[in-house]
Chain A
């Protein structure tokens, strides 16, 4: 009994250490965001700012159009997530349920597609978007993000579809449900956690993406948050650390909020699936 308690305590200690390790950069970011410049140069850096200030946030907002950039990021990330899910869900269903040569070829292509470094893709992609007159437009950027997120989204969702027993669909068919009815009333609710996780993946990928946005958007009014954040960084990595930390801290908030909301959905969906199953 005692051994088990000790083992459990050890597990919690290890978990706590891991959580601290993961949280360290974020906590340091928060701490830096509230420090005045003189504390940033202190030889004895402290976790809690001695003289906390909002000046970094003020300066960040004064110098860069953070709200507008955040709006652009939110719009593109949401659109990319919604479109990626709309395309990936039926495609993944077909890939998982109909194991044809074509489906296998698509799966293979998806895996190969993941292997291309984006530096190789960017110039052809740029030319393609230019021909479509989608350079310097948020819809063009959304298109890129959807294409970028799709392979992994497909692969991820196909796994979720495979986890839903085909017998459930067959049982619904036996009970007289049509194909669409089965898909919407039986399969879709069980896939909800997977769809939520995929949407989250597509959202966070698009929200954090920097290079495509840097290259494709020319008009300052259309720039997204990761691009605007680099305006606090100069040559050779020298940075205006306080405002950068303040802006970066604010930039992480939407991701955290979306994650919190979607995570509840993932858990709820899994439980619902278990009860119905």
Chain B
């Protein structure tokens, strides 16, 4: 017994060593003269993973000399993971990310400037306003390929019951009308709208573009300052008044994520919920049988239906020895028909003009047509290229907006904190 016990740890160690030795890298296939590109994709939904893998398979079948290795990455901690890989010189060749994450990498010199590498077809297919989301300084550091507007997902029965006018992209609600409608839809423990504002800053800033809000103003010297002007106040004031004055929006969802509000939407407690366009997939999966819903455009302001977005992007690592081949792969992946497959898989909108013409994106089913009609109004998120934005967001804007929306502070104090405290933060990044 004692002998067996004494031998056991030794055997365990030996087995582990042998197993681990079998897991070390056995060497690559570069010696065979063919190029291998590592493509880290962040696609995660079943359909989008399938679409991406299919496209990689098609590429590999047609290009035996340039093999693409599909690696599934994770949205969780992607920034830190990429930063470490860049620093260590081990970054993937082709990188999937979102445009609001690219600024640091572009400024840090980790990404290839694609300006002279991109084929004319791809450059002209994506509108200039969308290219702005990945343009930092004079360089283009990614190809924006999927984006989603914020829309209102509404329970059809509640709208019919109240007899309100149904807005369309051609004739949307104004912010004032939206407030009146939500007041009319409220009462008896039910609400006209539920705002899931776990991330209040990006939602507020992106929607504020519709009212002409800019908040960040770049001077002639290139320095950015915060100014909370009348146009910037339209959206925050509407949300605040719905929650605090009209009680047409519950305060309880202000700290929630979008998914948390869906049960209330299905139960009819909330008539509408402002959500990203891709949430439709969850609604299709989770809605109780017979629940009728529709996609409505977000309210319009002085600048119509304009919204800020941070599209998903594909970039090439600057350290990649095969940048041209990587861009060839991007060109293939983002052909109009392929972009449509990726967009349908992710329940988002493609950025390419030709892809947006695809009939599959113009069907009324699941609100595709409404979302597609908004594509022309999408702009680069206002804060995207502002250095110091993450700190301003976390330390100043998020708590200030949360307090304002819950009624703890007024509009004047909100403005003072966004401007005074905010400009102090931004100034540190612009010395």
Contact = CB atoms under 8 A, between A and B. Distances in A.
Interface stretch (A25-33, A39-47, A103-111, A171-179): A39-47
A211 B80 contact: yes
Contact of B80 (A133, A215, A222, A241): A215
A214 interface: yes
Interface of A is mostly: helix
B286 A79 contact: no
B25 interface: yes
A231 B72 contact: yes
Nearest to B82: A215
Contacts of B390: none
B76 interface: yes
Contact of B44 (A75, A78, A232): A232
Given A137-B25, A139-B23, A238-B257, A63 B264 contact: no
Contacts of B262: 41
A238 B24 CA distance: 34
Given A136-B25, A230-B74, A75 B263 contact: no
Interface centre among B13, B23, B70, B264 (most CB of A within 10 A): B23
Given A82-B13, A218-B71, A231-B72, A130 B42 contact: no
B90 A138 contact: no
Interface string A226-255: 010011111111111100000000000000
B84 A215 contact: yes
A63 B49 contact: yes
A152 interface: no
Contact of A79 (B16, B44, B259): B16
Contacts of A119: 80
Nearest to A232: B44
Given A119-B80, A130-B89, A232-B44, A75 B257 contact: no
Contact of A127 (B70, B87, B288): B87
A115 B188 CA distance: 54
A126 interface: yes
A95 interface: no
Interface in B272-287: 276, 278-279, 282, 285-287
B294 to A, nearest CB: 17
Contact of B87 (A123, A220, A227, A234): A123
A123 B25 contact: no
Contacts of B429: none
A78 B17 CA distance: 11
A144 interface: no
A37 interface: yes
Contacts of A99: none
Contacts of A138: 20, 23-24
B286 A215 contact: no
A126 B267 CA distance: 50
A154 to B, nearest CB: 19
Contacts of A230: 74-76
B9 to A, nearest CB: 7
Contacts of B44: 231-234, 240
A184 to B, nearest CB: 9
Contacts of A83: 13
Contacts of B80: 119, 122, 211, 215
B404 to A, nearest CB: 22
B269 interface: yes
B22 to A, nearest CB: 9
Interface string B196-213: 000100000000000000
A234 B78 CA distance: 11
A133 B90 CA distance: 12
Interface centre among B19, B38, B76, B285 (most CB of A within 10 A): B76
Contacts of A219: 25, 71
Given A41-B286, A218-B38, A238-B257, A86 B88 contact: no
A41 B267 CA distance: 9
A238 B19 contact: no
B45 interface: yes
A127 B89 CA distance: 9
A142 interface: yes
A190 interface: no
Interface centre among B21, B72, B89 (most CB of A within 10 A): B72
Nearest to B257: A237
A219 B81 CA distance: 14
B161 interface: no
Contacts of A78: 12, 16
Nearest to B259: A238
A83 B13 CA distance: 8
A89 B289 CA distance: 60
A41 B266 contact: yes
A158 interface: no
Given A38-B286, A43-B267, A236-B199, A220 B72 contact: yes
A233 B12 CA distance: 35
Given A210-B76, A220-B71, A240-B45, 8 more contacts: A123-B84, A126-B87, A139-B21, A231-B44, A233-B76, A238-B259, A238-B278, A240-B46
Interface of A: 37-38, 40-45, 59, 63, 72, 75-76, 78-79, 82-83, 86, 119, 122-123, 126-127, 130, 133, 135-139, 142, 210-211, 214-215, 218-220, 222, 227, 230-241
8 contacts: A41-B285, A75-B16, A82-B12, A136-B90, A138-B24, A215-B81, A220-B71, A236-B199
Interface of B: 9, 12-13, 16, 19-21, 23-25, 38, 42, 44-46, 49, 70-72, 74-77, 80-81, 83-85, 87-90, 92, 98, 199, 257-259, 262-264, 266-267, 269, 276, 278-279, 282, 285-289, 312
Nearest 3 A/B pairs, CB to CB: A41-B286, A43-B267, A230-B74
